[in-house]
Structure 1
Amino acid sequence: MQDASRFEFIKSQHVASLTVLRAAIEDFSYDRHAHEEYAFGVTLSGRQDFFSGGQFHKSPPGNVILFNPEEVHDGQSGGEHTLDYLMLYVAPSQLHPMFAEVLGQPNNAIFRSSKTLIQDVRLRTAILQLARLVTQSTASCIDQENTLYRIVERIVQLSGAQHTEQRTSRPDALLQRAKAYIHAHLTQDISLEEISQAAHLSKYHFLRLFRQHYGITPHQYVINCRINAARAALLEGASLVDVALRYGFSDASHFNRRFKRIFGMTPSQYRRDIAR
């Protein structure tokens, strides 16, 4: 029996970190997770229901959805109709120079959107246009780069981006220590005690604080980071079994199940899509 939901990833042949996801969801729900990239999406039909930023959202057709890097979210179809949507994923290293240029700053600027849902025709049109350009083999590099720049420019014009050079609160700083420890030990069997010690917090205070700040548990975050690292290793040519074992999954089947709950497809299917 085939899945009723469909997912397709298309990698840009011109802009190194740009990937398009086209999805139709009927009977699938994403686990709470976070991507390393910025994500710009448009709900095409149906309704997109998801958690992000500590609250639940409902996106009708035509809405733009913005996710910052490492912003926790999930997602599923809302209502009775199939959810059709597309997302653009772009690495921060690709966008930070663009944000800096738009705002007239001399160096790379790190920005986070203060808005998750936006109703704006110009921004929606630019996202849809870039998705079309990526899927058309005749589109040029300058076409894609120019449209991506227009997306960044419009986000700034809508005042939905904020510079992150702000004072970091003590809880934020402590949790950043924990996240750094997790990233540095992804291939090891780390414990909650070890992570909380890295944050200089008691184990259960850390657990409660982490969940309050990010909407997921430290364990869920570790799994998410391992999936993202494993995805990168797969795209560099590593074997599925080696990647699964390297990042702490008991076997390829366990890795497949976890991966599919974040990307909607198995690691092998994802790598095949990206390699086209």
Structure 2
Amino acid sequence: MAKQSSRFDYYKSRQIPGVTVLQASLSDFSYDRHAHEEYAFGVTLSGRQDFFSGGEFHRSPPGNVIQFNPDQVHDGHPGDDATLGYVMIYVPSAQLEASFADAAGCERAARFHGSETLLADPELRHAILDLAQLLIHWQGTRIDQEHALHRMATRLVQRAGKFQPGGRASRPDALLLRAKEYVLANLEADLSLDEISQAAHLSKFHFLRLFRQQFGITPHQYVLSCRVNAARSALEAGVAPSEVAFRYGFTDLSHFNRRFKRIYGKTPFQYQRSVT
């Protein structure tokens, strides 16, 4: 029997800004290495989910929870002959900070960092799937969805994470953060490696080594990933794909289509049509 083609269905919350769920079925598709600005929490439903992240190769069987912190580089593909089915919820940091702080007993929001990428936790799995169902079927009021999100965040803090309440970053981290901030502020410009390394006050080759060692991705791959993420936001705002391609420096619409699809599974036009 021939395999079904891969399918990617995106659903944006109508109640909570920025929250999106992906319901995916993969048989013949592999994601490029990339990172998201948001937190991502998913559940493998069928098949096996194989991916590389954090310097390790991971295999997620059905029922496992997958957690990615913002800017955590990863790829992904089906791990065996069976079709891979999974859901993934993308949540901006701003929508989770208060819930994370409350769960940890903090008076103010602090940066949450999930310490495990793969988790076998039935309670967390059910919390993610319950929220996903509300989003996929456009069910529940805002308070229903916020309660489901808070329940998920609470379990994450209890089971899978730790708080990093600030403190001073190490010098390499601070320099690389400066470089990343420069990239994000200049996504529409024709960025060069010299400019980015100068923003970090590092020599070009030292910067290259340090960046790849820290993030598992080259500066060029990071810039491309950031541009695709920014392009996604523009598409969600209704900007025409051709204009988005020009704005973020893709050679042409065909180039933009290829790059976008390798991360989101759909062409920019298909993605825009599904979420607007």
Q: How far 1:106 moved relative to its partner? A: 2.1
- 1:130 counterpart residue number: 131
Q: Pairwise CA RMSD of aligned residues?
A: 1.4
- 2:62 counterpart residue number: 61
Q: How far 1:108 moved relative to its partner? A: 2.1
SS in 1 for 2:96: helix
1:195 equivalent in alignment to 2:196: yes
- 2:28 counterpart residue number: 27
Q: How far 1:164 moved relative to its partner? A: 4.6
- Given that residues 112 and 164 in structure 1 are in contact (C-alpha distance below 8 angstroms), is that contact kept between their aligned partners in structure 2? no
SS in 2 for 1:74: strand
* Count of matched residue positions in the alignment of Structure 1 and Structure 2: 274
- 1:177 counterpart residue number: 178
- 1:11 counterpart residue number: 12
- 1:156 counterpart residue number: 157
1:218 equivalent in alignment to 2:219: yes
- Given that residues 40 and 87 in structure 1 are in contact (C-alpha distance below 8 angstroms), is that contact kept between their aligned partners in structure 2? yes
- Once the two structures are superposed, residues 132-159 of structure 1 have per-residue CA deviations (whole angstroms, 9 ceiling, x without a partner) of 1112234222221111101011011115
Q: How far 1:160 moved relative to its partner? A: 1.9
1:37 equivalent in alignment to 2:38: yes
- 2:77 counterpart residue number: 76
- Once the two structures are superposed, residues 154-193 of structure 1 have per-residue CA deviations (whole angstroms, 9 ceiling, x without a partner) of 0111152332514311111111111111111111111111
- Given that residues 175 and 199 in structure 1 are in contact (C-alpha distance below 8 angstroms), is that contact kept between their aligned partners in structure 2? yes
Distance in structure 1 (CA, Å) of the matches to 2:149 and 2:119: 17
SS in 1 for 2:102: helix
Distance in structure 2 (CA, Å) of the matches to 1:270 and 1:22: 13
- Given that residues 114 and 162 in structure 1 are in contact (C-alpha distance below 8 angstroms), is that contact kept between their aligned partners in structure 2? no
- 2:271 counterpart residue number: 270
- Given that residues 116 and 160 in structure 2 are in contact (C-alpha distance below 8 angstroms), is that contact kept between their aligned partners in structure 1? no
- Given that residues 47 and 84 in structure 2 are in contact (C-alpha distance below 8 angstroms), is that contact kept between their aligned partners in structure 1? yes
- Given that residues 9 and 22 in structure 1 are in contact (C-alpha distance below 8 angstroms), is that contact kept between their aligned partners in structure 2? yes
Letter in 1 for 2:17: A
1:249 equivalent in alignment to 2:244: no
- 1:103 counterpart residue number: 104
Letter in 2 for 1:57: H
- Once the two structures are superposed, residues 201-249 of structure 1 have per-residue CA deviations (whole angstroms, 9 ceiling, x without a partner) of 1111111111111111000000111111111112222221111111100
Letter in 1 for 2:93: P
1:206 equivalent in alignment to 2:207: yes
Letter in 2 for 1:80: D
Distance in structure 2 (CA, Å) of the matches to 1:64 and 1:167: 31
Distance in structure 1 (CA, Å) of the matches to 2:158 and 2:138: 31
Uncovered stretches (5+) of structure 1, i.e. residues with no partner: none
- 1:52 counterpart residue number: 53
SS in 2 for 1:51: strand
- Once the two structures are superposed, residues 16-67 of structure 1 have per-residue CA deviations (whole angstroms, 9 ceiling, x without a partner) of 2211100011111101111111100000011100111121111011000000
Q: How far 1:3 moved relative to its partner? A: 7.5
Return the TM-score normalized by structure 2: 0.96
Give the share of equivalent positions with the same residue, in percent.
60
- Given that residues 100 and 109 in structure 2 are in contact (C-alpha distance below 8 angstroms), is that contact kept between their aligned partners in structure 1? yes
Higher mean C-alpha displacement, 140-149 vs 157-166:
157-166
